[in-house]
Amino acid sequence: MKITFFDSQQKLDDYAASLIAETISSRKKPVLGLATGSTPIGIYKNLVQKHQRGELSFREVTTYNLDEYAGLTAAHHQSYAYFMNHHLFQHVDLPPQNRHIPNGTAADLLEECQEYDRMIAAQPIDLQLLGIGHNGHIGFNEPASGLTGATHVVDLQEETLQANARFFTSIDEVPKRAITMGVGAILKAKTILLVVRGADKAAIVKQALTGPITTHCPASLLQTHANVVVLLDQEAGRELLADEPSLLNMAHS
């Protein structure tokens, strides 16, 4: 696991985007796993700028998003399909048929999950972009006594509903279920790029990266992966650095 710290959001976004761009440029048919939320917005903006400058093409790229709310149409302004279109897809030359996001309004959600896994198995993910929830979830894999490896429908925990309520008029509007790529599918990615920012994530970052490996902190399972790249701003990494000051030698400033 390689951990790098950044003293500004712009530097972190630039570095993350450069890693994704390198993955795209170094493969004939690159496959990316994508994430939503506030964390990757600056990264996507940077990738769009690279494309607009003629430095990067998405014509041969295939993407798979981690998750989608159950019950929201792609046109809903809080769906992850809408988010991806707004922040990335409509600004680059990624073919529509190469963009994959779970269908939260599918008539048969179980079949939707199984088909998603079949597609990923046929096109293994080269680089998976991840964030981390305050409770240690990755994708929408919530803390539990056991975790599902395959793509599945999950009931969102109260902490996750509270965290996502800021995007809706009220917490009552936050969907209670979601389709999420399973931990097993996430861990099959050749490279995992974990990006975390903010002091409010400092405790869970330390727990996930240095604590015991447990399904009660799903992100801790990343410790079992052979190629994880972790990018932290200094606030997100402050508890980690307090206990492991030697890590500061890897800082990127």
The answer to whether 193 touches 34, Cβ cutoff 8 Å, is no
Strands 152-155 and 127-130: unpaired
Strands 152-155 and 177-180: antiparallel
User: Is 112 among the residues known to form the active site?
Assistant: no
- Coil vs helix vs strand at 129: strand
What is the rounded CA–CA span in Å between residue 201 and residue 138? 13
Please determine, for residue 230, whether its predicted confidence score (pLDDT) is greater than 80.
yes
What is the rounded CA–CA span in Å between residue 83 and residue 21? 20
Q: Please name the residues in contact with 198: beta carbons below 8 A apart, sequence gap of 6 or more.
A: 233, 235, 236
Cβ atoms within 10 A of the Cβ of 7, count? 12
pLDDT tens for 201-228 read 999 999 999 999 999 999 999 999 999 9
Please determine, for residue 248, whether its predicted confidence score (pLDDT) is greater than 60.
no
Q: Which one is catalytic: 46, 51, 65, 67?
A: 67
Radius of gyration of the chain measured on its C-alpha atoms: 17
pLDDT tens for 171-198 read 888 889 999 999 999 999 999 999 999 9
Which element (helix H / strand E) includes 3?
Answer: strand 2-6
Which region, left, alpha or beta, applies to residue 180 given φ > 0 means left and ψ of -120 to 50 means alpha?
Answer: beta
Q: Which one is catalytic: 13, 68, 142, 233?
A: 142
pLDDT band at 247 (very low <50, low <70, confident <90, very high): low
User: Is 115 among the residues known to form the active site?
Assistant: no
Residue environment code for 38-49, b if the CB has 16+ CB neighbours within 10 A, otherwise e: ebbebbbebbbe
Tokens of residue 111, six digits? 């079949």
User: Is 164 among the residues known to form the active site?
Assistant: no
pLDDT tens for 126-178 read 999 999 999 999 999 999 999 999 999 998 888 888 888 888 888 888 889 99
Q: Tell me which DSSP letter residue 1 carries.
A: -
Tokens of residue 149, six digits? 């490896």
User: Is 137 among the residues known to form the active site?
Assistant: yes
The answer to whether 218 touches 207, Cβ cutoff 8 Å, is no
Q: Which one is catalytic: 60, 117, 135, 216?
A: 135
